[in-house]
Structure 1
Amino acid sequence: METVSILGVGWLGLPLAKRLISDGYQVKGSVTTAEKMELLQQAAIWPYQLIASPENLWVNDASFFNADVLIISIPPRRIPDIESIFPRQIGYLINELEKTDLKKVIFISSTSVYPDEGQQAVETDTLSPQKASGRALVEAENLFRQNSQFKTTIIRFGGLIGADRNPARFLARRKTAVDGRKPVNLIHQDDCIAIIREIIRQNIWGETFNACCPEHPTRREFYLRASLLSGIPAPDFEDGNEAFKIVNSQKLVRYLDYEFKFPSPLDYLNRTTI
């Protein structure tokens, strides 16, 4: 039985772990508090506690890293100096991985590594993110890419929707008008899980993939529909000239022969009650 360790069992990691268990994998999972470990046990996940601080990385049992595949699902936090703190934390993690026989890693990144320059964003683009969290992810990606002891596949997910995330809340607190013409770059949780499973199943390592719905409705189309379904007041929209990008996931579709469960974010709204 192959073992998969998931560093960061949260909104994405928990349903992913449950699906991998149903696929026949033994799954280990890490959380940051001892209280959450019981929740993992109840889901048949081997529980571990792992804390990454700016100074070091602590894990209650180093056997967490003894796995066939490690999935890293810990986005950079919105805190001061995250641009230097997050790559340092990833460096601590890589130091631990180099002590093991681990050969396969999946690093969950984000399409925030791309600037908004009116372009079709593809994996070979020069990266110049506008936010500190995006710059932190670029540095982390490079650390994994440069390591020759294991092969890392990097997945740059778009904005995450599905499960208990009500997209109508994403813009509900905006006090200024929103550019309604800007296209959205989103992906459903079910597609995230399916893509990770396919990468493991097909043994595709050392690659970088964008992962985003192939269709990109405008903010006005998507968020007005989400607001109508949920009863949450929609933000004010205007036809502005805000910079944008359209994330292209054709490499993923081609390499994995992947068919999106939700080709458009509107498919999610049309199939669910939020």
Structure 2
Amino acid sequence: MKDKKTISILGCGWLGLPLAEAFIQSGFRVKGSTTREERLSVIEAAGAEGYVLKADGGAWTGERLNDFLRCDILLIAIPPGTKRNANSTHAVEIGQLMDHIKKYSIAIKQLIYISSTSVYKNINSVVIESDTAIPSNIGNQILFQAEKHVHESVIERKLILRLGGLTGYDRMLGRFFAGKQELAGGNEPVNLVHRDDVVACILFLLKNGIGEQVFNICSPQHPSRKEFYTRLCDRFNLPEPHFSEILKTDWKEVSTEKMNQFGYKWIFPDPNDYTYTKS
């Protein structure tokens, strides 16, 4: 019997843990990391091997780091933290990790890096994967630098997945808008993705042997913020938000045409159909 392929997931959190469970169900051996000792039992209960790993100012620590990195596929799903911290060390952490892999000649066949559609600047247009080749189209510079470290790594096959706003299950975004007044950007298209589609997209790409690509992972339909959040609040009996018709904002609409052309069939093409476990 052939040995199972090993996937190491750096960051077994809200997205990483369900990915671990899906990989195990698909017959992979899974290693999962966390920054907190108390999370190890959760990872191990899912059937994965747990590791405590941290990056302190960009430098990685953890006695078992090299053991964790000995895998067929390394999936990086750590939150960049750029929304709350403009000086996030995320790009440095990714760069240091790629240097570590090179320094110790750790053989990894494929790397999957979870990025975000915030890497695109709001240019009042539809954006596609190749747009980041133009410097003026880059939004989140930290994510862009992290992606660059991935591109330049010694790992031969790299997948960079730019996710829209993650939602579904207990992450019901309407509660952040309920009852709010004079909200800007009511006519902006939403760029969201349900967690089930993220998991299914990654399994689809691995099953089909697709590597060395950049993909936008986002529901292909883009209702306006006003339509989406008003309907969502009505659905959960929350006070409707009010969007100003005067306050205008810059926007972007993230294209998923590339993923469509590769043959992926979306579970939730329309964000209005997302399912949730609780509000």
Q: TM-score, normalised by structure 1?
A: 0.92
2:5, 2:29 within 8 Å by CA — same for their partners in 1? yes
1:112, 1:129 within 8 Å by CA — same for their partners in 2? no
The Cα of 1:92 is off from its aligned counterpart by 1.4
Which of 37, 40, 60 is equivalent to 1:37?
40
- Which residue number corresponds to residue 247 of structure 1? 254
Deviations 1:124-181 (A, max 9, x none): 11254676xx211000001111224432110001011111101112334856423221
Q: 2:229 is aligned with what amino acid?
A: Y
Identify which range, 186-195 or 46-55, moves more after superposition: 46-55
Q: Does 1:27 align with 2:33?
A: no
Give the direction of change, closer, same or farther, for the CA distance of 1:193–1:63 in structure 2 (3 Å limit).
Answer: same
Which of 3, 7, 20 is equivalent to 1:4?
7
2:221, 2:270 within 8 Å by CA — same for their partners in 1? yes
The Cα of 1:203 is off from its aligned counterpart by 1.5
Identity rate of aligned residues, in percent? Answer: 36
Q: Does 1:59 align with 2:65?
A: no
Q: In structure 2, how many angstroms separate the alpha carbons of the residues matched to 1:92 and 1:172?
A: 41
Which of 111, 117, 123 is equivalent to 1:111?
117
Identify which range, 16-25 or 230-239, moves more after superposition: 230-239
Q: In structure 1, how many angstroms separate the alpha carbons of the residues matched to 2:130 and 2:75?
A: 23
Q: Does 1:121 align with 2:127?
A: yes
1:2, 1:68 within 8 Å by CA — same for their partners in 2? yes
Give the direction of change, closer, same or farther, for the CA distance of 1:130–1:144 in structure 2 (3 Å limit).
Answer: closer
Q: In structure 1, how many angstroms separate the alpha carbons of the residues matched to 2:18 and 2:72?
A: 19
Q: Does 1:140 align with 2:146?
A: yes
The Cα of 1:44 is off from its aligned counterpart by 0.8
Q: In structure 2, how many angstroms separate the alpha carbons of the residues matched to 1:128 and 1:272?
A: 40
Give the direction of change, closer, same or farther, for the CA distance of 1:230–1:60 in structure 2 (3 Å limit).
Answer: farther
1:30, 1:47 within 8 Å by CA — same for their partners in 2? yes
Q: TM-score, normalised by structure 2?
A: 0.90
- The alignment's C-alpha RMSD in Å is 1.9
- Which residue number corresponds to residue 260 of structure 1? 266
1:178, 1:236 within 8 Å by CA — same for their partners in 2? no
The Cα of 1:117 is off from its aligned counterpart by 1.3
Mapping 1:179-198, distance limit 5 Å: 179-198=185-204
Q: Does 1:221 align with 2:224?
A: no
Q: In structure 2, how many angstroms separate the alpha carbons of the residues matched to 1:169 and 1:127?
A: 35
Structure 1: give runs of 5+ residues left out of the alignment.
none
Secondary structure of 2:53's counterpart equals strand
Which of 154, 157, 162 is equivalent to 1:156?
162
- Which residue number corresponds to residue 87 of structure 1? 91
Secondary structure of 1:237's counterpart equals coil
Q: Does 1:200 align with 2:203?
A: no
Give the direction of change, closer, same or farther, for the CA distance of 1:145–1:231 in structure 2 (3 Å limit).
Answer: same
